[in-house]
Amino acid sequence: MSTTAYEQLSTAVATGPLSGYTVLDLTRALAGPHAGMMMGDLGARVIKVETPEAGDDTRSWGPPFVGPEDNPQATYFLSCNRNKESIALDLKSEDGKDTLTRLIERSDVMMENFRTGVLERLGFGVERLHELNPRLVILSITGFGHDGPESHRSGYDQILQGEAGLMSLTGSGPDDPQRVGVPIADLLSGMYGAYGALAALLEREHTGRGQVVRTSLLASIVGVHAFQGTRATVAGQVPRAQGNHHPSIAPYGLFKCRDGKVQISVGSQKLWAAFAEAFGLDAVRPEYVSNAERVENHALLLSEIEEAFAGFDPENLLEKLNAAGIPAGKVRTLDEVYEWEQVKSQGLIVDVEHPVLGRISLPGPPLRFFDPATAAEMTRTVHSAPPLLDADGASIRSWLDAEAKVAS
């Protein structure tokens, strides 16, 4: 029997809290694939089902594309599909449905982000899925939710950033709504989805049955409104964008200095006293005596701080801020981030061997795991590159055949 990419890695990857679990990933674009990648980062075997010929939508999302002209690879696809195998299935064909059925029977989690009703029309509604595998956890991600008056709408990240209020909070001011610089609705719904699937797996240990977990891009954005949400629901305010300064804490934000800008966060009275002493400000001036007054008189405070900062370049200013114990930082470009030794030290860059591109570096997983008895790190350290379309189709089918023989 030919070996899968997962089996080739299994001897090197003996760690990860989801080692031994199989995730069937029927999703495309970003929200679902990000959830699947998170599960793979945790050690699960993730089998990605794609449409024949074209594959996941993100295989064509670019530029940038990299690699040879006759086989270009979209960096978008590379961002959300590491640690997966790929099998191409036509789910309208009998062979595709039969293979999917066998995969469902052998999976712990199935992820899908079809529009509501599509799986039912294909013959794989929830009732049928649990007939095939009562222990199956089903993660379903939609744009606006599975029910309600607008559940039928297609959901794309920027549309939901606007519809769910995030863009009204982001930008230089109330008349300048801006999207977040990454597809945050997709990413958050993927995170919430993975979190929900893990909870359902834990619950399955008690009941022996899988649950249906549902989330949406709409829910993911509303779920992170945080203090802006309670400003609206409790205080009756309508929060609006106000640039790079915090609406409820001052001083907290991006400030000009000589030849650049720095960020500071003065989140307590103790920090305010230290900051004011370091830069010659009157800490007990009536306009600044408490955080509420500083927020109310933010324009005056901003001008005084930037006047005090005018004699410092960013590096010298950061040194002074750090010496005073003030949380501070600069705004890095992404190339600077990936060259930063602190980022490298946290395993946030991983190297993989891609069959077309060779050795490439990818942004790495954000979680690390340690054995409390030995302090040994248990984080997955060997990763596989995002797969080519149907790269593992033959080996996955061989595995299914072998599993069927064992079962019989």
Give yes or no: residues 273 and 377 share one domain. no
Domain assignment present for 22: yes
Domain assignment present for 296: yes
Give yes or no: residues 23 and 59 share one domain. yes
Domain assignment present for 334: no
Give yes or no: residues 218 and 285 share one domain. no
Domain assignment present for 245: no
Domain assignment present for 143: yes
Question: In the 3-class helix/strand/coil scheme, how is the chain assigned residue by residue?
Answer: CCCCHHHHHHCCCCCCCCCCCEEEECCCCCHHHHHHHHHHHCCCEEEEEECCCCCCHHHHCCCCEECCCCCCEEHHHHCCCCCCEEEECCCCCHHHHHHHHHHHHCCCEEEECCCCCHHHHHCCCHHHHHHHCCCCEEEEEECCCCCCCCCCCCCCHHHHHHHCCCHHHCCCCCCCCCCCCCCHHHHHHHHHHHHHHHHHHHHHHHHCCCCEEEEEHHHHHHCCCHHHHHHHHCCCCCCCCCCCECCCCCCEEEEEECCEEEEEECCCHHHHHHHHHHHCCCCCCHHHCCHHHHHHCHHHHHHHHHHHHCCCCHHHHHHHHHHCCCCEECCCCHHHHHHCHHHHHCCCEEEEEECCCEEEEEECCCCCCECCCCCCECCCCCCCCCCCCCCCHHHHHHHHHHHHHHHC
Give yes or no: residues 270 and 308 share one domain. yes
Residue 148 confidence (pLDDT): 95
Decide if 23 contacts 45 (C-beta within 8 A). Answer: yes
Give yes or no: residues 55 and 194 share one domain. yes
CA atoms lying within 13 Å on the CB side of residue 334: 6
User: How far is residue 89's CA from residue 2's CA, in Å, rounded to a whole number?
Assistant: 19
CA atoms lying within 13 Å on the CB side of residue 141: 35
Give yes or no: residues 187 and 324 share one domain. no
Give yes or no: residues 9 and 158 share one domain. yes
Give yes or no: residues 220 and 293 share one domain. no
Domain assignment present for 246: no
Residue 331 confidence (pLDDT): 95
Decide if 347 contacts 383 (C-beta within 8 A). Answer: no
Q: Of 276, 297, 329, which residue constitutes the final position of a domain?
A: 329
What residues are labeled active site?
A: 186
Give yes or no: residues 138 and 259 share one domain. no
Q: Of 282, 304, 329, which residue constitutes the final position of a domain?
A: 329
Domain assignment present for 230: no
Number of compact structural domains in the chain: 2
Domain assignment present for 240: no
pLDDT (tens, 9 = 90+) of the chain, 408 residues, equals: 334 554 545 444 447 899 999 999 999 999 999 999 999 999 999 999 999 999 999 999 999 999 999 999 999 999 999 999 999 999 999 999 999 999 999 999 999 999 888 999 999 999 999 999 999 999 999 999 999 999 999 899 999 999 999 999 999 999 999 999 999 999 999 999 999 999 999 999 999 999 999 999 999 999 999 999 999 999 999 999 999 999 999 999 999 999 999 999 999 999 999 999 999 999 999 999 999 999 999 999 999 999 999 999 999 999 999 999 999 999 999 999 999 999 999 999 999 999 999 999 999 999 999 999 999 998 898 999 999 999 999 999 999 999 888 887
Give the structural domain span for 75: 5-224+341-407
What CATH number is given to the structural domain containing 26? 3.40.50.10540
Decide if 301 contacts 294 (C-beta within 8 A). Answer: yes
What CATH number is given to the structural domain containing 276? 3.30.1540.10
Residue 14 confidence (pLDDT): 44
Q: Which residues contact 407 (CB under 8 A, 6 or more apart)?
A: none
Give yes or no: residues 353 and 325 share one domain. no
Give yes or no: residues 131 and 198 share one domain. yes
Q: Of 329, 361, 378, which residue constitutes the final position of a domain?
A: 329
